[in-house]
Structure 1
Amino acid sequence: MLHLPHQPLQVAAVPPQRTPAREDQTGPWHSEAVCRRDEAGLFFAPSKEPTAARLSREESAKRVCARCPVMVECREHALMQPEPYGVWGGLTAAERRVALARRRRREAELKASGATGHIAAAG
């Protein structure tokens, strides 16, 4: 079995001027998505796509996501659903699985530390 060296996730960065989930939202966030003007094939893999082609396509999709005004909302949607396929909010399906696992681990740690602090204070 081939083992590749660990590489950090390559995700589209969230520019500082973007904020998650706007409060003044008048319509669905996806109506403002840049990807609505692109081919769906860029964001979703065709069956039996070769690895090199998939990686190239995903990087192209992430570049589209990087300039999207609703990238944060899209990413959060894909994490909350969870969307099992495609590039959403600058993350691939595999990257979303990792992000969700990290989020769940953090939430469990916070819950455990809160419970531990409560027990220590009572004891």
Structure 2
Amino acid sequence: MIELNLVDGDAGEPGWQERALCAQTDPEAFFPEKGGSTREAKKVCLTCEVRDECLEYALMNDERFGIWGGLSERERRKLKKRAVV
């Protein structure tokens, strides 16, 4: 089991995962079946205050499944490719 750090630094404030809008919605929307719609998850991400932190986490940890920071795995892969070139 992967344990996420839910506290930012030493401030004792909630970590970005606790502030994420996806934590308050149906998690299945963020991990659709192959070929399933990502529209609802991406709509939630659009207004999320921690979208950048979420995307950074996914890129740094090579998350291969789900919607992270408003991007699908395929979109994150393309983003990484562009950053390397």
| TM bin (shorter chain) | 0.7 to 0.9
State how many pairs are aligned.
75
Q: Percent of pairs identical after alignment?
A: 36
- Distance in 1 between the 2:84 and 2:17 partners? 26
Q: How far is 1:40 from its partner? A: 1.2
Unmatched segments (≥5 aa) in structure 2: 1-10
TM-score normalised to structure 2 length: 0.79
- Distance in 2 between the 1:26 and 1:83 partners? 25
Amino acid at match of 1:28: G
What residue is the counterpart of 1:32 in the other structure?
A: 19
Q: How far is 1:25 from its partner? A: 8.1
What residue is the counterpart of 1:61 in the other structure?
A: 41
SS of the equivalent of 1:97 reads helix
- Distance in 1 between the 2:63 and 2:38 partners? 16
Q: How far is 1:29 from its partner? A: 1.0
Amino acid at match of 1:76: E
- Distance in 1 between the 2:16 and 2:68 partners? 13
TM-score normalised to structure 1 length: 0.56
- Partner of residue 83 from structure 2, selected from 79, 88, 103: 103
What residue is the counterpart of 2:65 in the other structure?
A: 85
SS of the equivalent of 1:35 reads helix
- Distance in 1 between the 2:16 and 2:78 partners? 24
Which protein has greater RCO, CA pairs closer than 8 Å, 6+ apart?
1
RMSD (CA atoms): 1.6
More helix by share: 1
SS of the equivalent of 2:38 reads helix
Amino acid at match of 1:80: M
Instruction: Summarize the Cα distance change of 1:26–1:43 in structure 2 as closer, same or farther, 3 Å threshold.
Output: same
What residue is the counterpart of 2:7 in the other structure?
A: none
- Distance in 2 between the 1:75 and 1:25 partners? 22
